[in-house]
Amino acid sequence: MKQRNGYPRFHRARAWMAAALLVCFLASAVPALGERDVELSPLHYGQEAMQLHLENEPNTVELDGVTYTFEDDNVFFFQESVTVYGGKTRSVYEMTLPKDVWSAADAPADALLGTVTINPETKVTLMVGDGNRISGAYRLSEPMIVTDVYREDVRLPRDASGNPCLVDRIFLYSYSINGEEIHRAASVYFDYEDYAASRLPGGASASPEEATEVTPTAEATEAAPATEAPDAAPAAETTGKPVVPLAIAAAVLALVLLAVVLLKVRRRGASAVEPASAARPEARPSTPPVTEDDELRRLARRFEDLTARIQACVNDHPEKADQTRKFFSYYVPTAHRLLDYVTGCERAGVSKSELDKARATCRRGLEMACTAAQKHLDAMFSNEGLDADAEIVVMEQMLKLDGFQPEFDRRPAGKAD
């Protein structure tokens, strides 16, 4: 029987079959394992959210006896990527996509609407879900632990006919500050100008009230969907038990099957497959987009130079790679997205006022990115500076103990060699 790298083809095929079974089982198990249907109440949005804000009252939602507050903080951010109407009240984002954006012939099927970023200073427990803010019925993910930057692209959903569907996404997250537990909520909602969109297949359809809730312009007219939307699905009860035993059993069975096959291969003398290298891959920065603005080009070159210096330091001192994790995972892609936004505006030929606004925003962002890069670079060498000072002090003491006076102590003040 032919072998490749000491691994018999027959046993290799069995291993791949087991892996394929594992993937199939996990693919069917993940939705059941990682999600649960809940009913969030009460939900205040639109005018209700604005009224609470004007009256300086908290906007809250409850789940499993925990109260989550919609409030601005330095953890949750949403940055739209397209022109929208509307805005946010505290952390309730409610936006309408203009008709010329969602209905454009050259608009991509899954156009990027914006990006959610959760940038914690400490550990954050996060649940994310889609649903219906009118009924409060949502399907939430199981809690996940976020210790680094969490980023999620919000894209334009469409049904089987290519029509846009509502975006109704909620984020519930918790963290601790000085021993105090903080529970926060945020929501991102998109509907469409001149079109009463339905929800994704399987979800409740939009009501007329919701479809016209955000009025972008005085000229916006009421429109009906091409087909009559189905009635809203009833809200599912909160079970609090997201684990489905059959799904767990299937996943465990697949894991056991894969382990047995691999164990048999090893016992028959097949060479073990070399594990993937655990070395940290080089996070080489890509070249930032080129813009027509001289000041932005200068800031981009400075940021690229600082990034290259940080990468060179990591290459020379791999033990410092962990210090740069947040820099390469957040600051570098964020700076590039800002430049992408400006170059996109330049190519699209937007008005001068909009272009100036985009450039000013990008300049401010790049200045902060350069500051962050410089501070990261300085921090990577701060410990070496302390070590060098300590070495000098020790060397001076050793010279004195050996009966030698250090040269720099005998020099007249202000004179050098």
What is the predicted pLDDT for the residue at 380? 82
Count of CA atoms in the C-beta half-sphere (13 A) of 231: 2
Q: Are 322 and 373 in contact (CB under 8 A)?
A: no
Place of tokens 């992408």: 340
pLDDT confidence tier of residue 236, bands split at 50, 70 and 90: very low
Query: What stretch of H or E contains 287?
Result: none
Which pLDDT tens digit goes with each residue over 162-200?
888 999 999 999 999 888 999 999 999 999 988 888 887
Whole-number pLDDT of residue 12: 60
CA 184 to chain centre: 17
With tokens 């569907």, the residue in question is 165
What percent of the chain has pLDDT above 90? 24
Q: Binning pLDDT at 50, 70 and 90, where does residue 267 land?
A: low
- Beta-strand ranges (E) seen in 64-143 are 66-70, 76-80, 85-89, 92-97, 112-118, 124-132, 137-141
Residue 21 or 326, more confident: 326
Reported as a single tens digit per residue, the pLDDT across 89-130 is: 999 999 998 988 888 767 777 889 999 999 888 899 999 999
Residue 57: per-residue pLDDT = 92
* Cα 89 from Cα 371, distance rounded (Å): 30
8 A C-beta contact, residue 258 and residue 43: no
Give whole-number Cα distances, 364 to 296, 339, 359, in Å: 10, 12, 9
Q: Does pLDDT of 261 surpass 70?
A: no
Among the residue ranges 4-8, 187-191, 219-223, 381-385, the one predicted with the least confidence is: 219-223
Q: 219: which 2 tokens?
A: 């000229």
From CA 70, how far away is CA 246, in angstroms rounded? 37
| Cα distance between residue 22 and residue 16, in whole Å | 10
Q: Are strands 35-39 and 137-141 parallel, antiparallel or unpaired?
A: antiparallel
Confidence class of residue 270 from pLDDT cuts 50, 70 and 90? very low
Asked whether the predicted pLDDT for residue 238 surpasses 50, the reply is no
Model confidence at 218, pLDDT cuts 50, 70, 90, reads very low
Point out the least confidently predicted range of 22-36, 275-289, 348-362. 275-289
Q: What is the pLDDT of residue 273?
A: 37
pLDDT value of residue 143: 93
Instruction: State the average pLDDT for the chain.
Output: 75
What is the arithmetic mean of pLDDT over 369-385? 82
Q: What is d(CA 178, CA 19) in angstroms, rounded to the nearest whole number?
A: 45
CA dihedral (375, 380, 383, 384) positive or negative: negative
Question: pLDDT class for 17, splitting at 50, 70, 90?
Answer: low
pLDDT score, position 283: 44
At residue 70 the predicted structure's pLDDT band, cuts being 50, 70 and 90, is: very high
Ranking 13-27, 188-202, 288-302, 392-406 by mean pLDDT, the lowest is 13-27
Residue 140: predicted pLDDT = 92
Tokens of residue 237, six digits? 């009860």
Q: How far apart are CA 46 and CA 59, in angstroms?
A: 12
Q: For 29-58, what is each residue's pLDDT tens digit?
A: 444 456 889 998 778 888 898 898 889 999
- List pLDDT tens digits, range 143-162: 999 988 899 999 999 888 88
Whether residue 258 is predicted with pLDDT greater than 60 in this model: the reply is yes
**pLDDT grade, residue 252 (50/70/90)?**
confident
| Cα–Cα distance for residue pair 48/372, rounded to 1 Å | 39
User: Who has greater pLDDT, 183 or 28?
Assistant: 183
What is the rounded distance in angstroms from the CA atom of residue 316 to the CA atom of residue 313?
5
Cα–Cα distance between 358 and 335 in angstroms, integer? 13
Tokens of 348: 């699209």
Number of residues in the chain: 417
What residue type is 102 in one-letter code? W
Q: Where are the alpha helices (DSSP H) in 126-220?
A: 208-211
Indicate the pairing of strand 66-70 with strand 180-192: parallel
Confidence of residue 68 (pLDDT cuts 50, 70, 90): very high
CA atoms of 30 and 21, how far apart (whole Å): 14
Q: What pLDDT is recorded for position 185?
A: 95
| Residue 270 three-state SS | coil
Q: Look at strands 180-192 and 92-97 and give their pairing.
A: parallel
- From the number of C-beta atoms within 10 Å of its C-beta (0-12, 13-18, 19+), residue 85 rates as middle
Least confident among 110-114, 135-139, 231-235: 231-235
Indicate the burial class of 147 (C-beta count within 10 angstroms; 0-12, 13-18, 19 or more).
Answer: exposed
Provide the CA 284 distance to its chain's centre, in angstroms: 20
Q: Which helix (H) or strand (E) holds 146?
A: strand 144-146
